[in-house]
Structure 1
């Protein structure tokens, strides 16, 4: 099974090297991806492809799979281990750029 990130990476690479595929991808993304990569999307899936316009930031959040739960102070301390520095990240950009995306 192909994961979503791997498929996106392959689609971008192919679209950068194959202009006919890029045109088909922009015109009929579902058919282009299914034909080129041998995947089948469920009928309910929405497949949307757009070109980067350099001044557009598009963020797609994953579906929330966990209901929000309120924790009391004791539970937070237990999870946190009592440390005042928990959750802090140091040393620069941890995540880096997403493949296929350029800085705005």
Structure 2
């Protein structure tokens, strides 16, 4: 599992266990992540957090790799 996926899983698990964190994550995700995990999401990254329910589901369509930078290291690629 990549570092990014590990962090995402940790964020999800914390939100399941900590209702205060979950509410902050939904309202101000950058501050919640920085406060809980010490990870600063770069200013150029927009981060949206939504919660699924038993009737509302979300499909995230990732950026097409062909549209990504050609071999350049992008500091914001994995925030």
TM-score (norm 1): 0.55
- Residue 32 (str. 1) matches residue 32 (str. 2): yes
Partner of 2:10: 10
Greater helix proportion:
2
TM norm structure 2: 0.70
1:66 match: secondary structure: helix
* Aligned-residue CA RMSD (Å): 1.8
Pair member with larger Rg: 1
Distance in 2, Cα, partners of 1:53 & 1:43: 29
Equivalent pairs counted in the alignment come to 66
